[in-house]
Each structure stands twice: as structure tokens, then as C-alpha cells.
Amino acid sequence: MLGVTISYHQLEQFLIKELHVEWVHKPFLDHLHLKAYLDKAHRQGEIELFGESYSPSDIEELSKEKEGRIFEFKFSPGPCEGYMLLLKMESGQIFYIKTFDRNTFELFLSWVNQLEACYRDKPRRRIYEPIPVGSIVYVVDNNPAGTQIIPHRVELREPTEESSYPLCLKDVNPVTHGVHYLEDGWERWPHVFFRIEDAISYLEGEEKLSVNVKS
């Protein structure tokens, strides 16, 4: 489910028309809420929502988004009654959904898995373009413990005598903190993928190995 690309229009249509949720809160895509959050961010310099900080420029960029990749989700009891589904995208886009049906999450997960299966059936899309700092990519890592797919974040690094290239890949796992130092053309490395389903397809189709997806 993590890393799957979804259309925000399709997402909202599915939640409202198919799952009949109570409401969908999309702070940066709803014009009424957008203006309020943007005004507040201009006054304060930034705002915080669900543990994430947003500057005015962040909010303006998110207001133009049409699709995104799922980065985090949480399904929990509501503050009074019912249930809440929180979706965070890799870009920082947020969807907060209210429902009274405890099966909402299972139905939503099934829908996302169907989307993922459709994407996996398409030809793999490799990385051939510069990737923005902060993006998540998936590294197929071969080590004595087995082959794993490990999410990494593109981050800036200080130049050294050995290399002046300004980027590196850092393992998002707070325990391991693995680092891959990069060089020109790294986007074409055969073991680095922009979508997790492409990394899985790479293993299943080319190496025939079992996959351990490390969260």
C-alpha cells in the first residue's frame, strides 16, 4: 500500500460514492480551508498539521497537486464516535476521513491493492529524471541476511575531497540509518526505483527472489 500512486479525484469519489463516508477533510485542496490555512501560514511563517510543518510556498504547491504516493496511514476510533482514517502522501498532502463503518479501512485497502496490481501490470517506470530533495526512493539491497527493499530519502550532503556531488540516499529506518553516497547518473542505477511496486517487480521478474519489504 505504501508508495502506491493515487488520483485525488478518484480517491474522493471512491470514499464518498462507494464507501459513503461521513466527510473528507482535505485542507490544501478545499478552497475554503486553503485560504484560512494560507493566511495563517503567512502570519506565522508556517503552520503545523498532524505533526507536519508547512510554509506558505508548501501550501501553494500542495493546492495544485492532482495525485500523490501514499506515505503513511492511520485508522483509529474517532474522538466522539465512529472512526477516523488519516492519509499522508509523500508530498505532505493530507486527507482526514470520518466514517461510522469499521470496515472502511479494509475496503479502502482492497481498493488500493487493486490499483497497485494495475500499476504492476504496466511496464516498469524507471528513474531517468532528477529527483527532488526529500523524495522517497526504493533501494534493492543484497546482503548476507537476504535481499530487501529499503526505502531511502534523497537528502543533501556536504561535499568532500572524494566527491563534490551534493546528494545522498539515507535509510528512513531510524535504527539502521544506512547511507548511499551518490554520483552523476545515479538515477539510472538498476537497483534504485521511484515506486515500490517497480522494485518488487524487479525482484520477482528478474531475480526470482522472495521479497522482504522493510518498513
pLDDT for residue 84:
92
pLDDT for residue 211:
38
Report how far residue 87's alpha carbon sits from residue 85's, in angstroms, rounded to the nearest whole number.
7
Q: Which residue has the higher pLDDT, 143 or 185?
A: 185
| Residue owning grid cell 485542507 | 27
pLDDT for residue 119:
55
Span 45-85, pLDDT tens digits: 999 998 899 999 999 999 999 999 888 888 888 877 889 99
Report how far residue 17's alpha carbon sits from residue 144's, in angstroms, rounded to the nearest whole number.
48
pLDDT for residue 110:
84
CA-CA distances (angstroms) from residue 171 to 5, 49, 117?
A: 21, 25, 26
Looking at every residue in the chain, the average pLDDT score rounds to 81
pLDDT for residue 215:
40
Report how far residue 188's alpha carbon sits from residue 172's, in angstroms, rounded to the nearest whole number.
21
Span 122-143, pLDDT tens digits: 544 455 456 778 888 888 887 7
pLDDT band at 21 (very low <50, low <70, confident <90, very high): very high
Cell digits of residue 67: 495525485
Span 146-181, pLDDT tens digits: 778 888 888 988 777 777 788 889 888 766 667 888
182 close to 191: Cβ distance less than 8 angstroms = no
Q: Which residue has the higher pLDDT, 63 or 5?
A: 63
